[in-house]
Structure 1
Amino acid sequence: MKCSVCENPTTKRCIRCHTTYYCGSSCQKKDYSNHVLDCPSKYADILVKNVFDNVIPTNWAVRYEYGFRNCLDPIDESMLLGLYIGLIKIIGCNSSRLHSWWKSGNLPFHIKNAYDKSGYTSEYYKWFLKNEHVLQGLRKYEGTKSDNDLVNKLYEIAKPYLSEHDQKVPIETLPESKRIVFIFYTTMLSGRIPRIEELNWIEFGFCSCKFDDDYLGEMEERRLGDLYRELIIQKGCKVDEFHDAYISGSLLDLLKKKCNSNDCDWLSERKIEIKKHNQPAKSVYDLKQYVLGESVSLQRSVTEDYGFKNCRTEVEKENLKNIYRKLIKSPKFEPRDLYEACLEGKTYHYVRSILPNETLNANIFKNLYIF
């Protein structure tokens, strides 16, 4: 990861939110006035913000402390979010009360009590009554220690897919490309899809899926995830075979060869792109990751290709980010079309064609390297 201030490589991160990276105390102090606005004193504040934004939490601590890590299926994550939406938006529970319930160690009891007293019920609450286990035994997020506990659990799930030799050696001794594949297996086998902020969201083609108008905009990404699970679980694809295809850039061919023909036709129709290891991603996918993700660093390619280099103030930069967010969420948006427009120096014209009613500054969208 990169320091959010100087962009130097670092593995250190804010001990409170665990999402923003700094190379040292100097850069952390420089960013304090900005970061304090995004780094609340309790994780319930972040959860409440996610609820009002209608997005499943991506903050590691929120997911750990409020049950999302215990969901083995994306649908269950959606149901849990719906439970919190009812609790916060309709019943009126605030972050302080939610935090105190969590701190008491009996969050499920208090949620049931709040719903029963209010008389409000929903499909999400009915789901919860059958799945209370996702909110049982919740503990404080302790950064690396908590992450390691989860990693160890996921490791045991994915370990049988490794070769006999690789099962006997530490994961960190495997080649980088195989470690990437193994992490991807843990994600698929736990019923999830990579989050936008993760490397594997780009590495394995989720970035090329269209943002849908369904509840979370992830319908196509989930469909791609189901295809991978069919390949891995139903067809028994081991890590070595998957890794060979990843290295050679033939993962799409592997999916088409072994999976359901109708879904494979969808791969071609939607022009899903899966790159090979160490192949640079198209800058449009870095743009999508920056615009749709949380606490994602602005990559140099995005800065230079999509107008952020032309922004004179942070306000202009944030306004441009919001424009691209609206663009990407538009049903008419196609990432490859934006990428081609960028290469031809026609980014402004493309954005204007999709968002005709937006106030746009043509000079902002100029690519300084195209004449």
Structure 2
Amino acid sequence: MVWYCSRRCQEYHWVGHLFSCNLKRELTTADHLALAIRKNLLPVDNPTLLEYGFRRAFSFENQRKLPGLYAGLVEALKVKPKAIQRWRKEGILVQEIKKCFEAIPAASRGSYYPWFLENQWVLDGKPLDPEESNGKFLREGWIFTGGDPNSPMYEIKATIERWPKNKLICFHMCGIMLLHFHPAPSDMMWVPFGFCTCDENSELELGGIYEGLLKQCTFKDFYEAFESSQLLKLFRAKGWGPSIARFPYLEGVLEKSPHCLSVWELKQYLILDAEDYPMPPFPTVSLDYGFFNCQNREEEELSAAYRAFFAKRDADPLALQQAVVQGNVFEYMCGVVKLKNKKTLRRLMKNRFGLNSSQKPGLNPF
């Protein structure tokens, strides 16, 4: 039996109650999943995304179908987060989802369950075959460049390995887009093509816009626009200007690509570090945001402060970038984030760039 703090809370049911009321138990990733489903959104916290398949469901179709599956489970079949959490921990999530849907008539199972039966790998936790997936991306990109569809894979790889870096980045971008996928933070395309400005939900929309653009241009058009910092101009020329304008900060990224502001690399580093990708900060991130000052576990403390910044709904990455240029990162952060251990963070946030530096701060050739 569930205790509710009011009749209104009971009518809203347990999902809203978990978050709105003062509960004594700790919220789980399944609770966060259920709340996102109730609000018709994707989850935004990394543990939930990892534990419930969203990080494996890379394609547009899969990322739209997976929430629908969970909606059927939580909203229609009334399965509670506590049960979902237990299934995941016991490694029986796939089997239990099948039991729930198989217990109702086939006509009532909707379109998401058949998708799930064909894509159980999204949730079963088994390793994917990277060679097979990579081969599909390479061939799609190769065909889009005008290459022979029947070319052997060794020939495709040998050819593209000789290409300039920016051409190779565009090639990979086109390959995954044509298969209805979009870049993850671990991909080299995530920053220069503007996915760094998105949240989990708007990433899907931006991916769809890129897919539409590629139907209207050649690989040569796309690559030359990227190489010459004219991607925004290309989007506008093909009629996508109003769509792009809806994304905060995206136009600024597209105007600079293939160069990028270090604040977007900072965001990328923080996401990857939180997802257990063992790697040091990017060189410009280290210099601009003070990681080069860190000793022992101080890097974790500095990362936590910057994560708190990006977690704010009204965070302004460009204002943080400007603070880098002006050499007052600590002062800016104090004004927008509640910092602990200010004495240490003041020392750590000192950067090597200032207004008198001959090097242009914060702008990297990607």
Q: 2:236 aligns with which of 256, 276, 280?
A: 256
Quote the Cα distance in structure 1 between the aligned partners of 2:346 and 2:239.
45
Quote the Cα distance in structure 1 between the aligned partners of 2:44 and 2:203.
20
Deviation at 1:81, TM superposition (A): 7.0
Matches within 5 A, 1:1-371: 54-55=45-46, 68=57, 72-79=61-68, 89-95=82-88, 97-98=90-91, 101=92, 107=94, 109-113=95-99, 128-136=112-120, 146-164=129-147, 168=151, 169-174=155-160, 175=163, 176-207=165-196, 209=197, 217-233=199-215, 235=216, 237-266=217-246, 271-274=251-254, 275-277=256-258, 279=259, 281-293=260-272, 294=275, 295=277, 297=279, 298-314=281-297, 316-356=298-338, 360=342, 361-370=345-354
Quote the Cα distance in structure 2 between the aligned partners of 1:53 and 1:254.
31
For these two proteins, the number of residue pairs brought into alignment is: 297
Deviation at 1:341, TM superposition (A): 0.4
Inter-CA distance 159–320: structure 2 relative to 1 (3 Å threshold):
same
Inter-CA distance 342–134: structure 2 relative to 1 (3 Å threshold):
farther
Inter-CA distance 340–170: structure 2 relative to 1 (3 Å threshold):
same
CA contact (8 A) 2:194 2:250 kept: no
Post-superposition CA distance 1:44-102 (Å, at most 9, x none): xxx99x9798438887x9969x963577343234446778996864444355631xx48
Identity between Structure 1 and Structure 2 (%): 20
Q: CA RMSD in A?
A: 4.1
Quote the Cα distance in structure 2 between the aligned partners of 1:257 and 1:363.
47
CA contact (8 A) 1:283 1:339 kept: yes
SS at match of 1:333: coil
CA contact (8 A) 1:347 1:365 kept: yes
Residue in structure 2 matched with residue 33 of structure 1 by the alignment: none
Quote the Cα distance in structure 2 between the aligned partners of 1:180 and 1:136.
31
Whichever of the two has the greater Rg, that structure is 2
Deviation at 1:178, TM superposition (A): 3.0
SS at match of 1:196: coil
Quote the Cα distance in structure 2 between the aligned partners of 1:57 and 1:179.
33
Quote the Cα distance in structure 2 between the aligned partners of 1:81 and 1:354.
36
Post-superposition CA distance 1:162-211 (Å, at most 9, x none): 2146974514412143332221112222323211111100121222x15x
Q: Unaligned 5+ residue runs, structure 2?
A: 1-28, 34-42, 357-366
Residue in structure 2 matched with residue 44 of structure 1 by the alignment: none
Post-superposition CA distance 1:282-337 (Å, at most 9, x none): 221211111122216212222222122333331x3212212211201212222221
Post-superposition CA distance 1:316-365 (Å, at most 9, x none): 32122122112012122222211110111111122122114655332221
Deviation at 1:255, TM superposition (A): 0.8
Deviation at 1:224, TM superposition (A): 2.7
SS at match of 2:86: coil
Inter-CA distance 57–354: structure 2 relative to 1 (3 Å threshold):
same
Post-superposition CA distance 1:103-157 (Å, at most 9, x none): xxxx4x442225778x9xxx9x8664242234347888567xx111112233454
TM, length-normalised to structure 2: 0.66
